[in-house]
Amino acid sequence: MLPLFLLADSRLPSGGHGHSGGVEALVDRGLVRSVDDLALFLAGRVSTGGRVMAAAAAAACTLASGTPDWAPWDAAVSARIPSAALRTASRAQGAALLRTVALAFPTPAVAALRALPRVHHPLILGAAAAAAGADPGQAAALALHHLVGGAATAAVRRAGGRRRGRRRRRARGGGRRRGRPGAAPDRGQPSDRRPGRTAPRIGGDPLCIVTTS
């Protein structure tokens, strides 16, 4: 099962961990500020788009025992991803993964995928999982792992970067906030609206609970 674990590793240039799925924008807007917020977002992704990704990966794993015609399956995945941005992201992730898979698992099914211009990520992941010895259920779980892991990693990275930026700004200002001349004091502002108090509380050990549940 070692090849399957390699496919799940975020350090592998597999494409799945290279897209946040929209969570970075949510962190920037203050809509994802805690582990609970992130868990709710991930649960929504798994129960909606995750079903499509898991089913496509499982189907590809089953089909990869031969040399299937991947074009209708790729079109079927496209029809089930309503967002044009997510379709583009899925194909970009698929191109990144296919470069690795073509070298690591040069099977006839993978060669047939390379004959198409750009293929959705879960189809390539399912074919690679089959070559790694996985069954369809494991391929589906691998697709969900990439879906959740990419978003969770992006949330921690984005939130951590925002906190580091605030610390640097406070350090440059000598640890004290300096308002513009004539600006009203912020004592009357709600605490959750003051600069420096809106850091998303994401990161650390609690993330392990989210990514492994």
The 10s digit of each residue's pLDDT in 30-53 is 888 888 888 888 898 898 889 999
Q: How far is CA 153 from CA 111, 116, 161, in A?
A: 31, 30, 12
pLDDT of residue 70: 96
Q: Is the pLDDT of residue 19 over 80?
A: no
Q: How far is CA 202 from CA 154, 198, 212, in A?
A: 11, 12, 16
Instruction: Please state at what angle helix 70-79 crosses helix 121-131, rounded to 10 degrees.
Output: 130
Condensed to tens digits (0 to 9), the pLDDT of residues 83-104 reads 898 899 899 889 989 998 999 8
For the record, the structure tokens of 62 come out as 């089953």
- The residues pairing with 34 across neighbouring beta strands, listed in sequence order, are 201
Asked if 136 contacts 58 with a C-beta cutoff of 8 angstroms, the reply is yes
Asked if 206 contacts 35 with a C-beta cutoff of 8 angstroms, the reply is yes
Closest C-alpha among 81, 93, 145, 144 to residue 119: 93
